Structure formats: structure tokens, C-alpha cells
Structure 1
Amino acid sequence: MTVDSDTVAVGSEAPDFTLEAIDGSQISLSSYRGKPVVLVFLRGFR
């Protein structure tokens, strides 16, 4: 996944995005609106 956008400030609303789940279904961040969500972004070591 790549996103062309500015940095999102801590505590601000994240932009909507969609990812493919392990079972092949599509999961969108907006489908969790109003529910607690924790996003963790890890950087590769290469």
C-alpha cells in the first residue's frame, strides 16, 4: 500500500484506506467509524 499524502498528526483523523484481508475480502478503515481502532505502522529494516 502506498499513500501520497502529508504526514498525519498524532490524534488526528486518519484518511480512509482499503486493504485486502487474509481471506481475500476488502477491509476499509471507514467501516470501523465510531469504533476504537489502533493503527500500527512498521517500517522495514532494508
Structure 2
Amino acid sequence: MDISTMRSLATVASLACFLGIWFWAFRRKNKTRFEEAAQLPFLED
């Protein structure tokens, strides 16, 4: 296994991680949780 193959695998793995996080973040199921978290700084103690 040469360095080019390792770089290609690292690139593909990074892309897969990025897409996984992207799909998780934009699921409809998470929308309400993220909206609540976005309002936390504006809530009074």
C-alpha cells in the first residue's frame, strides 16, 4: 500500500464522515432540539 492509496482512503473516509454529520444535522427529527439549543443564550437565568 503506497502513500497515494492511503491519501485516497483518508479522503474517502473524511468525505463519508462529513456526509454522515451533514445528514444527521439536517434530519427533521433533530430540528426541534437544535431550535431549543439555539434559544439557550437568550433565556434568563
Provide TM-score, normalisation by structure 2: 0.18
Q: Which has the higher helix share?
A: 2
Larger radius of gyration: 2
Greater relative contact order (Cα < 8 A, sep 6+): 1
Judging by fraction of residues, say which structure has more strand. Answer: 1
